[in-house]
Amino acid sequence: MIEAKRSMTYRGQSQWLTWLCQFQGVYFFLTGLWPLIHIDSFVRVTGPKYDIWLVKTVGILILVIGGVLFSAARHRRINQETFSLAVGGAAGLAAIDMYYVAIDRIREVYLLDALAEIILIILWVVFWVKQSSVTDRRSTV
Digit-coded pLDDT (tens) for 55-75:
999 999 999 999 999 999 999
For the entire predicted model, the pTM comes to 0.86
Residue 4 domain-assigned (yes or no)? no
Q: How many domains does the chain have?
A: 1
pLDDT band at 7 (very low <50, low <70, confident <90, very high): very low
Query: What digits encode the pLDDT tens for the residues 42-56?
Result: 999 999 999 999 999
Task: Tell me if 100 is assigned to some domain.
Answer: yes
In-domain check, residue 19: no
Give the mean pLDDT of 75-82.
95
Listed in sequence order, the residues at least 6 apart from 117 whose beta carbon sits closer than 8 Å to its beta carbon are: 90, 91, 93, 94, 97
Q: Does 80 fall in a domain?
A: yes
Domain encompassing residue 100: 24-132
Average model confidence (pLDDT) across the chain? 90
Contact between 32 and 89 under an 8 Å Cβ cutoff? The reply is no
CB atoms within 10 A of CB 69: 25
- Residue 14: inside a domain: no
Residue 124 has pLDDT above 60, yes or no: yes
CA angle 18, 24, 29 (to 5 degrees): 125
Q: Is 11 part of a structural domain of the chain? A: no
Range name among 18-22, 107-111, 133-137 with the lowest pLDDT average: 133-137
Query: Of 118, 114, 124, 108, whose CA–CA distance to 18 is shortest?
Result: 124
Does some domain include residue 76?
yes
